[in-house]
Amino acid sequence: MTQRLSFRILAGRYALLQLPAGSPRPDWVRGEFTAIIDSPEGLSVVCAEDGAPALARARTGFRCLEIAGSFEIESVGVVAAAVRPLAAIGVSVFVYSTWETDYLLVQECDLPLVTTALKEAGHGLS
């Protein structure tokens, strides 16, 4: 049985940027929801769109959905339950997980499709 989740759509638009490997952690990252993920491929940055500098490796126009409530770090299947309905309709998703919950970034133009797919999968939205 698929988990039933509740999503909250965060206000604002977000940007996803990639900085080259070895880049210093940027000091311009600000906002209520941000993420800096360092990997061998480079730094991935999520921040408010209006605070993002113009970079060659940048995508803007994202909306952020938070899976409401908190989950134990050992919880199994939460992300799968969230993204399965979106994969089924061909929507690309950038997922960021924290200790307590998960966030999905989707293009704003896909938001109506996303909310419909999530509701049809039995999930709630607020």
Instruction: Report if residue 106 sits inside a domain.
Output: yes
In this structure, is residue 75 part of a structural domain?
A: yes
In tens, the pLDDT along 26-80 reads 988 988 889 999 999 999 999 999 988 887 789 999 999 999 876 666 667 788 8
Work out the angle at residue 67's Cα, subtended by the Cα atoms of residues 28 and 72, and round it to the nearest 5 degrees.
100
Q: Is residue 68 assigned to a domain?
A: yes
Q: Is residue 1, in this structure, part of any structural domain at all?
A: no
The total of structural domains in the chain comes to 1
Q: Is residue 45 part of a domain?
A: yes
**CATH number of the domain bearing residue 19:** 3.30.2130.10
Give this prediction's pTM.
0.87
Nearest Cα residue to 55 out of 15, 14, 21, 96: 15
Residue 23 lies in a domain: yes
Tell me which residue range forms the domain holding 64.
6-125
Residue with tokens 């979106």: 86
